[in-house]
Amino acid sequence: MPNLDILDNMIAVVVVLLVLSLIVQSIQAAIKKLFRVKSLQLEQSLVHLFYYALDKDAGKTMKTWADRMPLLRAFASLPGLRSLMPQTATRLSDRDSQVKTLFDAVSQEIKNSGRITPGGKVALDSLNKDELKKFIGNMKAEKLAARLIGSNGEQIQSALEKAAAVNQVFTEFNDKFKPLIDKTPLAKFTAPMAQMLANAAELSEKDLDTLTVGDLTKLSKRELAEVNKLIEALPDSIQQTIKQLETNAQKDAAAALAKLNEAFEPVKEELKIVATLPAKLGQISANVDEWYSTIMQGFEERYTRSMKTFALVISFVTVFLLNANVFAIYRQVSTNEQVRNMLIAAGPKISQKIDQQKAGLANDEQTQQAITQIADEAIQNVQQGAGMYTSFGFEGPRWIRRVFQNPRSIFSMKAIETLFGWIVMTMLLSVGAPFWQDTLESLFGLKNLLRKQQPGEAQKTT
């Protein structure tokens, strides 16, 4: 029959792992919340997304350690470390100016909605695609257009008014001579030209100060490159159509088209502004819709990897400070029945405490109250966890004072075993508390099953 003592030893060691996991989780949660790690990672992902939204090269957004590890930027923002890591401390200052303009505008819209941290930063933790598109649509088009297409409000308003005047001439011509134009080189341009000029006429009637990106998105039906191609090709097609109409003795249509060409030619550059405005700004929302899922999947993968690395570092520091040598712990558990029984009895309670902690961490609210609560609970959990660890008879942080009193012990063979034991314990902790909770439950289940199979135990239960 299997020896239950070995199983009890395993259960006791798993309970120790859960105690240490409680400490690691508490420290990790506090740092994540205090330094806005997830929000910083999302900030970088939004910058990455906006490169795609503006059809720019996004390759340089993930080149540096600071780009891939937002926690470095968080630490670098501290006054004492800013001078030591100047490159890491920069975030958007070295980015493309148009991307920065878009990011700043979206951030302001998010802040206007009340999503702001106690430190005055934008809170991005719970932002989803529909909300992002809504914030982009609410942005004022005038200031954004000045940076993205290089035209100020007066230039845009003037261009809209001139395009609206051309629209009137074009509409009169199209209504009167459309059947004659259908078989000319100009035919393929009439529909898109009519749409573009109608957009301009509609926009010219609106107050530019209240015009939003959402308004322009509704008007943007064509790709920017296609619109520019249309404007460049239009003069030649008009000239070719005039010659064809004159050849067919359709002089009235040719004269009307020549009049349209006279109205069109002086405002050619203004028409480019009119075409660029909805096309350039309208493509932002479309590109965000197309690339959001891809970029956010990359965010989830990077965030998960960085948190695993982060947890590994915290685990090693915890193991080091508490001298949690897995080999020494197992020896103590296996030779001291009292310690072993205490750990086994405490197992369910510790597992329940970790569940309670995870439930509290599910709250992503970035308010001062939530941050203070997380920090207070983290300090309390660390103190309780360390106290619980030493209460089971393990040495804990006192080993550091002992080493200072006898520095030569660092170079002993036992020190090598201790270091290796720390590393193994760190690797075990990196698996995560949920795994060890499941393991503990399985071991308890196995122990109950084995006890029922032992004749002595069976007699006691009858």
- What span, in angstroms and rounded, lies between the C-alpha atoms of 36 and 46? 15
Given a cut of 50, is residue 410 above it in pLDDT? yes
The angle, 0 to 180 degrees and rounded to 10, between the axes of the packed helices 4-34 and 337-361 is: 30
Token digits of residue 212: 């939003």
Q: Which long-range contacts (CB under 8 A, 24 or more apart) does 55-64 make?
A: 55/283, 55/287, 56/96, 56/98, 56/99, 61/95, 64/88
Specify the pLDDT at position 13: 92
**CATH numeric code, 151-280:** 1.20.120
| Three-state SS sequence of 185-246 | CCHHHHHHHHHHHHHHHHHHCCCCCCCEHHHHHHHCCCCHHHHHHHHHHHHHHHHHHHHHHH
Q: For residue 140, list its beta bridge partners.
A: 212
- What span, in angstroms and rounded, lies between the C-alpha atoms of 308 and 69? 12
Specify the pLDDT at position 461: 40
Given a cut of 90, is residue 424 above it in pLDDT? yes
Specify the pLDDT at position 89: 39
Of 149-153, 220-224, 391-395, the range with the highest mean pLDDT is 391-395
- Average of pLDDT values for 335-356? 87
Question: In whole angstroms, what separates CA 462 from the centre of its chain?
Answer: 60
Q: Which amino acid is at 35?
A: F
Whether the CB-CB separation of 238 and 186 falls below 8 Å is answered with yes
Token digits of residue 87: 């490159």
- What span, in angstroms and rounded, lies between the C-alpha atoms of 371 and 364? 10
Q: At 362, is the pLDDT very low, low, confident or very high (cuts 50, 70, 90)?
A: low
User: How far is residue 214 from each of residues 100, 210, 273, 275, measured CA to CA in Å?
Assistant: 20, 11, 18, 16
Given a cut of 70, is residue 376 above it in pLDDT? yes
DSSP state of 3: -
The distance in angstroms from the start CA to the end CA of the chain is 20
- What span, in angstroms and rounded, lies between the C-alpha atoms of 86 and 294? 31
Given a cut of 50, is residue 9 above it in pLDDT? yes
DSSP state of 431: T
Q: At 214, is the pLDDT very low, low, confident or very high (cuts 50, 70, 90)?
A: confident
Main-chain dihedrals φ then ψ at residue 116, nearest 5 degrees? -140, 140
Alpha helices, H only, 364-412: 368-391, 398-405
- Average of pLDDT values for 140-155? 71
Q: What is the pLDDT of residues 99-113, one digit of tens each?
A: 888 888 888 888 888
Taking phi over 0 as left and psi of -120 to 50 as alpha, with beta for the rest, 150 belongs to left
Token digits of residue 42: 């999302």
Of 62-71, 102-111, 170-179, 449-458, the one with minimum mean pLDDT is 62-71
Main-chain dihedrals φ then ψ at residue 364, nearest 5 degrees? -90, 5
Of 77-86, 207-216, 266-275, 361-370, the one with minimum mean pLDDT is 77-86
Specify the pLDDT at position 213: 78
One DSSP character per residue, 321-372 reads HHT--HHHHHHHHHH-HHHHHHHHHHHHHHHHHHHHHHHHHT----SHHHHH
Q: Which residue has the higher pLDDT, 45 or 357?
A: 45
- What span, in angstroms and rounded, lies between the C-alpha atoms of 366 and 371? 7
DSSP state of 302: H
CA-nearest of 348, 294, 267, 400 to 14 is 348
Q: For residue 122, list its beta bridge partners.
A: 116
Token digits of residue 265: 């030619």
Evaluated on CA atoms 427, 428, 433, 434, the torsion sign reads positive
Structural domain boundaries of the chain? 4-35+325-454, 37-127, 151-280
Q: Which residue has the higher pLDDT, 36 or 419?
A: 419
Question: In whole angstroms, what separates CA 103 from the centre of its chain?
Answer: 13
Token digits of residue 61: 């957004």
Question: In whole angstroms, what separates CA 267 from the centre of its chain?
Answer: 43
Main-chain dihedrals φ then ψ at residue 394, nearest 5 degrees? -80, 155
Token digits of residue 451: 């006890």
Given a cut of 70, is residue 80 above it in pLDDT? no
Q: Which residue has the higher pLDDT, 192 or 346?
A: 346
Whether the CB-CB separation of 31 and 21 falls below 8 Å is answered with no
Q: Which residue has the higher pLDDT, 29 or 406?
A: 29
Specify the pLDDT at position 149: 67
Q: What is the pLDDT of residues 148-188, one digit of tens each?
A: 666 666 777 787 788 888 888 888 888 888 888 887 888 88
Q: At 85, is the pLDDT very low, low, confident or very high (cuts 50, 70, 90)?
A: very low
- Average of pLDDT values for 370-387? 74
- Average of pLDDT values for 241-266? 82
- Average of pLDDT values for 325-345? 90
User: How far is residue 410 from each of residues 318, 403, 407, 416, measured CA to CA in Å?
Assistant: 19, 7, 6, 8
Q: What is the pLDDT of residues 259-295, one digit of tens each?
A: 888 887 788 777 777 777 777 777 788 888 888 888 8
Name the average pLDDT for the chain.
Answer: 77
CA-nearest of 146, 110, 147, 101 to 128 is 110
The predicted model scores a pTM of 0.65
